[in-house]
Amino acid sequence: MTNRILALIKARSAKTVAAFMALTFLLSTPCFAYTLPAASPITVLPIDHAKFLAGQKFDFLVEVHDAVSANITVTVNGTAAEQYFGKTAAVKLDKSLASYRIDNVAFKNAGTLEIAVRAATADGPATRAVRYEVVNNVAPKRAKNVILFIGDGMSLQARQMARILSKGITEGRYNDLLEMEKMSNTAIITTSGYDSLVTDSANSASAYATGHKSVVNAMGVYADSTPDPFDDPKVENIVELAKRTRGMATGIVSTANITDATPAAMVAHTRRRSELNTIAASMLDARHRPDVILGGGAQQFLPMATPGSKRKDNRNLIEEFKALGYSFSGSRSELLSTPLAATKLLGLYNLDNMNVYLDREVLKNPTVLGGFDDQPNLMSMTGKAINTLSKNPNGFFLMVEGASIDKQLHVLDWQRATYDTIELDKAIGVAKEFARKNGDTMIIVVADHAHGASITGTYHERDGKTGREAVRIYADSVYPTFEDRDGDGFPDNPDPDVTLAVQFANHPDFNASYRLQQQPTVPAIMANGKAVANPQTQGEFQPGNIPASDPSEVHAADDIILNAQGPGSEYFNGVMDNTEVFFAMARALGLDGKRGLK
C-alpha cells in the first residue's frame, strides 16, 4: 500500500467517511426480496428453459417443499441423474424441505434435455418437468479478444443526453454520433430476472457473465431456500470459462467499488451482493482471479486496523495480490507509471466508489473529492487494461463499467450521469482504436437495466419564469447552449443558461431543480420511516410516485440498447434476452466448455 493513499485515507474525518458510506449503501442496495414461486412444491435449479454452453459447469439442485420423505427421483432424458452425471447426489430432509443436489456437473453435448422429478409431499405425490437447451456454436470468424462495456443504468435516454451534450445538434440534426452508436450491429435487450419484472445490477450483470437468469441481489448462482448466501447452486461464468478452457487473460475495470454488483458479477458467486468483503477475498481464487482489477473499493482490501477499512479481519488483500505478482497503484500517477512489462494490475483509487467525472475532472471541489484528487479516468484505465491484457497470446476478456450513470440517476442528477456516459463513450473509443489496429476483437456496449428518465424539452429562465413554467416544450424548446470549445467531447459549462429539462417517471418526494447541483446531493432523506424531500435542496416540490420506503429513484423495466462490432457481432439483431450476451461472447471466442473438464 502506498504512503499516499494511506495518508489520504487517514485524512478523511470519521464523520465524512460515515456519511459517504451511508450514501453509498443507500444507492447500491436495492430494497427487494425474493420469494419462491407457489405454483409447484418442487423447485428445480437451474430453472425451466435454462440454456447452457456445452461443458459449462453448474450445480444441480432440486428442492421439495412440504416434503414427507427424502426419497426424490430425478431423471435426465429418462436416465437416472446420478448415472447421467456420474456422481452421487447429496439428499437430505430438513423438517419439511427435502433436497437433492449434485455439484460441479456439465452437459457435454449440444441438444435438448428434459429433467423429470418425482417426490412425496404432504398433499401426495408431486411431479415436475423442466427442459434445458445446450449449445456449442462457434462464429464463422472467431475473435481473439472480447471487450464488454456496461453502462450501468444507461437507458436510451441516457445515451441521448450524452449525444446532445457531447456532439450537439444543429437545426434538428446531430452534429455527430457517439462512439457506441457507430458500431455495426444493434439489438434490443430485455432485462427481467426470473423473480421479478424489474431487475438490479447484480442479477442483470450475472446474466451477461453466465448466460443464466438469477434473482435480485444474486450473482453467479440460482437462489435456493437456505439463508446462507454462499451455498446457492453456482453457474460457471465467462471469466472462469475463458481461463479454464483457453488460458486467456481477464480483467475488470469500473468507476465503482470493484466489489460492487456489476464487476463482482463477472467473477463472484453469492446470493447477496452486499457481501463485499467476501467478494473481494474471492477475487484471489485462481479459478476466476482477474489479471487486471482497476476501480474503487480500497476499504474492502485493507486490514481492519487501517482507517477507512470495512474489513472485519486483518487480511491485507493488497499485499496478498502483490505477493502474486500484481503491480499496485493507488492514484492516476501511479497507474500511468506502472511498468510496461507488468502483466497483472491491481488499482484502487478511492475508499469506495470513485468520484464521478464531473467532480473529478471539471469541478474539482476538494470537499467532494475528500483528498482523492488524483484518480484516473475511465479512458486511462481502459487503455492500461487493454495494453496489459493483450500481452497474453491466448487473447483476453475485459469488462469495463461506467458505474455512476446508474448511481447518479438514482439521485436524480442527470448532469453527473451524462458526463459519466460521455466518459464511458470515450473509453469505448480507446477500445475501438485497439480493435481497428488488430482486427480480432469483438466489442459489445450495453446497459444492464434502464431508468425512468426522459427529456421533456429544455429549461431556461431568460424571461423570468422559473420552476415548471420555465420548462420549454414543443416549439418553445429552443436548443440547449452547452459548448465544447476545446473539442474533448465534454461540455465546458455543465450548467448553461439553456439546459435540458430532464424529468423522471419513478421518484420519491423531492424538490425539483433543473440547474446543476454544485455538490452531489440526495433528493430525499428518511424521516420517521418515510422518504421525504431533502430540506437542504431548493426547487419546486414534486410528490413521489413510488413507495415512501425508498428515498431514491428506482430502476425501470424498459428494454435497453446493445451495440457491437467485430468478429461474432453478427449474432446481435432484433429483440434478445440479456442472457444471449454470454452466448454471443462464447460463440465469438469459440469457447469449448468441454476442454479441461475433469
What integer pLDDT is reported at residue 36 of this predicted model?
43
Measured CA to CA, the distance from residue 357 to residue 359 in angstroms comes to 5
Q: What is the pTM of this model?
A: 0.93
Condensed to tens digits (0 to 9), the pLDDT of residues 293-318 reads 999 999 999 999 999 999 999 999 99
pLDDT band at 398 (very low <50, low <70, confident <90, very high): very high
Measured CA to CA, the distance from residue 85 to residue 297 in angstroms comes to 40
Measured CA to CA, the distance from residue 262 to residue 214 in angstroms comes to 14
What integer pLDDT is reported at residue 141 of this predicted model?
95
Instruction: Return the biggest CA–CA distance within the chain.
Output: 79
Measured CA to CA, the distance from residue 584 to residue 90 in angstroms comes to 34
pLDDT (average), residues 548-560: 97
What integer pLDDT is reported at residue 486 of this predicted model?
94
- Is the pLDDT score of 19 beyond 60? no
Cα-Cα-Cα-Cα dihedral sign, residues 202, 203, 206, 207: negative
What integer pLDDT is reported at residue 38 of this predicted model?
52
Cβ atoms of residues 248 and 242 within 8 Å: yes
pLDDT band at 11 (very low <50, low <70, confident <90, very high): very low
Measured CA to CA, the distance from residue 593 to residue 537 in angstroms comes to 54
Condensed to tens digits (0 to 9), the pLDDT of residues 247-260 reads 999 999 999 999 99
Measured CA to CA, the distance from residue 538 to residue 160 in angstroms comes to 27
pLDDT band at 596 (very low <50, low <70, confident <90, very high): confident
CB hemisphere CA count around 154 (13 angstroms): 28
pLDDT (average), residues 83-98: 96
pLDDT (average), residues 15-43: 49
Number of residues written out for the chain: 598
* 374 three-class SS: coil
Cβ atoms of residues 149 and 400 within 8 Å: yes
- Express as a percent the part of the chain with pLDDT over 90: 93
Find the range with the poorest average confidence among 26-35, 313-322, 378-387: 26-35
The domains located in the chain, with CATH, are 1-29+196-395+426-431 (3.40.720.10), 42-135 (2.60.40.10), 455-542 (no CATH)
